[in-house]
Chains A and B, each alone.
Chain A
Amino acid sequence: MITVENLVKEFGPKKAVNNVTFSVQRGEILGFLGPNGAGKSTTMRMITGFFPPTSGRVAVGGHDLAEDPIAAKKLIGYLPESAPCYSDMTVAGFLGFAAEMRGLRGAARDAAIEKAVGLCFLRDVLHQSVDTLSKGYRHRTCFAQSILHDPDVLVLDEPTDGLDPNQKHEVRQLIKRMGEKKAIIFSTHILEEVEAVCSRAIIIDRGTVVANGTPAELKARSEVAGSVSLRVQGVAVDVVRSKLGGLMVAGRVHANATGPSVTARIFPRDKSVNGELAKAVAELTAKEAWHFDELHTEEGRLDEVFRAITLPDTVQAKEA
């Protein structure tokens, strides 16, 4: 549904987006991750046709944004970053306006508003003026505007920004449900959100895509991914370290004593056989009759991957 090819956006001498290429299919929810100023909003503004790209191409539903912007825009629902609304209108008036701009009239318009109001929990404030709304309500009002016409493509720039934890949860559930039938792209810097909602994630840094994969694939790039954590009781640290180090499949071993227990992290010698490692460690604890109260394989942590690939300079400095 969304095709982005070699997208570049320059602001004067500065490249805000540099050669970004990706696509999103129907049924996919793409998480767009990156530190502040990475170029997430700029990319979304080009997808929605607000900014013309310096070079490169965007197509939505087969319509090129440069050649047939109106046909493309009809398919898109867009929640801009600051969730702007016309403050001199009521919520109902604003949604009515947005529906009419989408070509919805009469009964179709009322039905669309009714549905969006239900989904976004706006019933209580329907006749309230937008400028008296709290931030969360204003955000949801703008969100409601983006789903009025039941678009095939949703572009959401930080849809959970400024919401309280309950509202965040509701919005995530909503995105997830709608993602079954639409192509959704949303930006965030909350990593747990990506794991909870996305089928795929792209990490962008200084205008360039630095990672693109499922959340599981990205996590697997984490340094700790595939390592095994073990906590045993009543055994000396040195013993634990040397026994674990003796395993065929084990690589590096870190072990520390914390009170009466010893915590160890065993890295696989070869990442591709990490299933073996947990089994070998389990067999070892059984053979030595160690009493352990924790044993698991690390999936990897997204925040670690994120930090490692978006700030390579500081990470290298720390390791040196």
Chain B
Amino acid sequence: MSPDSFRNVWTIAKRELTGYFNSPVAYVFIVIFLLLNGFFTFMLGGFFERGEANLNSFFTWHPWLYLFLVPAAGMRLWAEERRVGTLELLLTMPIAPWEAIVGKFAACWAFLALALALTFPVVFTVGFLGAPDFGTILAGYVGSLLLAGAYLAVTVMTSALTRNQVISFILSVVICFFLILCGWEPVTNLLVRWAPDWFVNTVAAFSVMPHFAGFQRGVVDLRDLVFFGSVMVFSLFSTSVILRSLRGA
């Protein structure tokens, strides 16, 4: 990446983040994120009842939590540019379109990372109550961040498809839901009853669930990294194709 590209990506990301924090949306989002995390971990996850010194009851819920929160955070990224017409301004600036795509994605991902980082009290809690493996916890956080990134990339793509944020939200929830279901155990257990193994395995390979599971066990597998990386690259590349076709009509 040339220094110019890096600067352009940074300028766009900075603008996007300033935009977030200039409106109450960012603060509302973070508060809701933390409240829901607490609710799932301690109420539904039975954090205390389990009596284990780990964060499984915390991370287990992330695929479901992100299913709605990540599309909510990212739905405006391109849809709003299209609705207001600033897309025309942005794409006639002397930058490459991919720089704008990556800049926006990076800004929103950094914002999600911040929200995730603010869950640190749960780490203190588990550290105070027992002797957890902090390596496993770190791996869990890495996996969670990658999961959020994958969902976000999908949202960036759906956001470029429409000028309506609600449509963009619904489309990304549907796609992310599919990415969960196709490898979620209750569904694969159903599938194996009537489909051959190779088919079930192929479908499941597209799912975020098996790839996310490794991180929760503290295993950082290259294949899982490649999977999340591919989802992001593919979605962002699709975004650039969509943006180009918009202008080509």
Contacts and interface: CB of A to CB of B under 8 A. Distances in A.
Contacts of A97: 11, 14-15
A312 interface: no
Given A51-B247, A80-B85, A84-B85, A89 B91 contact: no
Contact of B94 (A11, A52, A73, A142): A73
* Interface size range of chain B in the complex: 20 to 34
B249 interface: yes
A210 interface: no
A284 to B, nearest CB: 60
Given A70-B95, A80-B85, A52 B248 contact: yes
19 contacts: A12-B249, A48-B92, A49-B92, A50-B91, A52-B247, A70-B94, A70-B96, A78-B89, A82-B85, A85-B86, A85-B89, A86-B19, A88-B23, A89-B18, A89-B19, A93-B22, A102-B94, A103-B4, A142-B89
A100 B11 contact: yes
Interface of B: 4, 7-8, 11-12, 14-15, 18-19, 22-23, 84-86, 88-89, 91-96, 247-249
Contact of B92 (A11, A73, A88, A103): A73
A52 B86 CA distance: 18
Interface residues of A, number: 32
A15 interface: no
Interface string A112-156: 000000000000000001000000000000100100000000000
Given A74-B94, A97-B11, A11 B249 contact: yes
A84 B93 contact: no
A82 B8 CA distance: 25
Contact of A88 (B14, B22, B95, B248): B22
A76 interface: yes
Contacts of A235: none
A144 to B, nearest CB: 12
A88 B77 CA distance: 13
Interface string A77-106: 010101011111100010001101111000
Contacts of A45: 88
Given A49-B91, A70-B96, A76-B92, 20 more contacts: A11-B249, A45-B88, A48-B92, A49-B92, A51-B248, A52-B247, A52-B248, A70-B94, A73-B93, A78-B89, A78-B92, A80-B85, A80-B88, A80-B89, A89-B18, A101-B8, A101-B11, A101-B12, A101-B95, A142-B89
